[in-house]
């Protein structure tokens, strides 16, 4: 906004930008267990995290080796839905696979 001061000087004030933060993102992570078949985990990663077979296999092997592995990063409601879909699918198939979300 521009205003005139007493001495005729033109003062220009910068408009304040609204402090809009991007929404927090969440990691969706698979956890290892001793019972869920490797092939089932690969299929889950392909189906729910849109990975090709090679990438899905690498993520599954990382989980198997390290105990956990990142499958994707999403806004809160999408991450939460992915976790629920994966858990529902795994329980229906009789596997104890665990899937969690963590703030990125």
State the residues that interact with ligand TYC by CB under 6 A: 30-34, 36-38, 41, 60, 63-64, 97
What 3-state class would DSSP assign to 78? helix
Q: Which is nearer to ligand TYC, 32 or 58 (CB)?
A: 32
**Cβ 71 to ligand TYC, closest distance in Å?**
9
DSSP-based helix, strand, coil % in the chain, nearest 5: 40, 25, 35
56 vs 49: CA distance, rounded Å: 9
Q: Which is nearer to ligand TYC, 80 or 95 (CB)?
A: 95
**Cβ 49 to ligand TYC, closest distance in Å?**
12
Q: Residues 75, 86: contact at Cβ < 8 Å?
A: no
Q: Which is nearer to ligand TYC, 63 or 83 (CB)?
A: 63
């Amino acid at each position: 906004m521009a205003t005139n001061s007493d001495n005729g000087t033109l003062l220009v004030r910068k408009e304040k930008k609204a402090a809009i933060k991007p929404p927090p993102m969440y990691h969706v992570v698979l956890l290892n267990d001793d019972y869920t078949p490797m092939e089932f985990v690969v299929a889950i990663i392909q189906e729910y995290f849109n990975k090709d077979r090679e990438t899905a296999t690498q993520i599954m092997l990382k989980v198997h080796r390290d105990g956990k592995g990142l499958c994707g990063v999403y806004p809160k409601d999408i991450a939460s839905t992915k976790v629920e879909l994966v858990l529902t699918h795994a329980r229906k198939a009789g596997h104890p696979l665990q899937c969690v979300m963590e703030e990125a």
